[in-house]
Amino acid sequence: MPMFITPDYRPDETRYEQMQYQRCGRSGLLLPRISLGLWHNFGGVDSFENGRAILRRAFDLGVTHFDLANNYGPPYGTAEETFGKAMLKDLRPFRDEMVISTKAGWDMWPGPYGDHGSRKYLVASLDQSLRRMGLDYVDIFYHHRPDLDTPLEETMWALADIVHSGKALYAGISAYDPERTAQAADVLNGTKVPLLIHQPVYNMLNRDVEKGLLTTLEQRGIGCIVFSPLAQGLLTNRYLTGIPGDSRAARPQAYLGAGDVKPEVVARVSKLNELAKSRGQSMAQMAIAWVLRQASVTSALVGASSPRQIEDTVRSLDRLVFSASELQQIDSILAG
Ligand code: NDP
């Protein structure tokens, strides 16, 4: 038995019965309907043991897909380091059971080569990410956001060359609009590295993808993994009675602030929470089921600050179906 296996970690043998998997667009890759992102709670400022416990619990529940980016932390790069450490301690024997992704596209290091969409940045950034995670390759490498100042061909050819080099198995994009997504897919098709997946934001409070992106992805056979399906925690029971001290909105470096917990949002979520209860679900579970009702959404990419949260979230799979009346009620609460 290799030295890096800790004697106390044996994944749950029923894990693949607890999760559902869906094909990612027209590819051979199956993704779990619920994937775990390491944007928050896995940085150098966070407890390693808590992050490790979340990763273990997620894997025990059949979550096979873990999503990172070069600059997740804080500080930048430290979420990949945390993940690398957890791989070494617990998960490395299961590498072939895992889909690991990372990204480059936002600011990462100083100077002109640590941001945006140049070939120079993408290739160097992935090399750094692999070192931090202690991996030979990632499964999916993303361009994290569109860069209108770099020719699209340069960015897409860099992704394709990275795949041809074996440092990533598939290519993805994030936050591209429908038109640029179609152009990116065309360029990549010319390289024989199809665009596997798009990673947009989608939740009850942000429905932009319904205005064309989902149709584009479906028509072109591109998978879709939606980020922040809980609106960073707003679409849970977290903020129904104030802002808890251990919540994201209370953290100094988070992208969700106390000002985002608006009374009108809390009022809507309180009503949605009543509907969730009538479905026998937590608010978080209903919010996840709601994004997964779209056949073109391959996976909901969630965050978690404790093992209990990922457990709760995964149980959304127990009730994915909505009646027409429930969907109407949700629409009218959101419009109200
Ligand atoms: P979510 O919308 O799932 O928010 C996660 C937060 O919601 C948790 O940190 C926790 O908040 C709260 N929460 C989670 N589960 C529960 C539960 N069951 N009950 C109550 N509260 C719960 O996603 P994130 O915003 O964290 O984003 C997920 C991932 O998406 C990221 O890690 C990243 O991988 C990706 N992402 C990609 C982006 C891109 O540009 N491509 C941008 C943003 C995210 P609390 O901490 O307060 O407990």
Residue pLDDT, tens place only, 290-300:
999 999 999 99
- Cα–Cα distance measured from residue 299 to residue 183, given in angstroms and rounded to the nearest whole number: 23
Our answer on whether the CB atom of 302 is closer than 6 Å to any ligand 1 atom is yes
Give the pLDDT confidence score for residue 336 in this predicted structure. 86
pTM over 0.95: yes
Residue to substitute in 301, 312, 315, 317 for testing ligand 1 pocket (most ligand atoms within 8 angstroms of CB)? 301
Our answer on whether the CB atom of 35 is closer than 6 Å to any ligand 1 atom is no
What are the domain boundaries of the chain?
15-261+283-320
At residue 42, does pLDDT exceed 60?
yes
What percentage of the chain carries pLDDT values higher than 90?
A: 96
At residue 87, does pLDDT exceed 60?
yes
Mean pLDDT of 65-85: 98
| pLDDT tens column, 191-239 | 999 999 999 999 999 999 999 999 999 999 999 999 999 999 999 999 9
Give the pLDDT confidence score for residue 252 in this predicted structure. 81
Our answer on whether the CB atom of 238 is closer than 6 Å to any ligand 1 atom is yes
- Cα–Cα distance measured from residue 100 to residue 83, given in angstroms and rounded to the nearest whole number: 10
Residue to substitute in 208, 236, 298, 317 for testing ligand 1 pocket (most ligand atoms within 8 angstroms of CB)? 236
Mean pLDDT of 117-140: 98
At residue 2, does pLDDT exceed 60?
no
Output the DSSP codes for 77-136.
Answer: THHHHHHHHHIIIIIGGGGGG-EEEEEE-S--SSSTTSSTT-HHHHHHHHHHHHHHHT-S
At residue 3, does pLDDT exceed 60?
no
Q: Which residue did the predictor score with more confidence, 1 or 319?
A: 319
Beta strands 21-23; 30-32: pairing state:
antiparallel
For residue 4, name the pLDDT band (cuts at 50, 70, 90).
low
Give Cα separations from 317 to 49, 126, 287 (angstroms).
Answer: 27, 33, 11
Give the pLDDT confidence score for residue 1 in this predicted structure. 47
Mean pLDDT of 144-154: 98
Mean pLDDT of 87-93: 96
Our answer on whether the CB atom of 37 is closer than 6 Å to any ligand 1 atom is yes
Residue 2 Cα to ligand 1 midpoint, Å, equals 34
- Cα–Cα distance measured from residue 230 to residue 65, given in angstroms and rounded to the nearest whole number: 18
Nearest Cα residue to atom 14 of ligand 1: 304
- Cα–Cα distance measured from residue 29 to residue 242, given in angstroms and rounded to the nearest whole number: 41
Give the chain's mean pLDDT.
96
- Cα–Cα distance measured from residue 133 to residue 109, given in angstroms and rounded to the nearest whole number: 18
Phi/psi for 183 (5° steps) reads -65, -45
| pLDDT tens column, 238-275 | 999 999 999 999 998 778 999 999 999 999 999 999 99
Give the pLDDT confidence score for residue 6 in this predicted structure. 55
Architecture label for domain 15-261+283-320: Alpha-Beta Barrel (3.20)
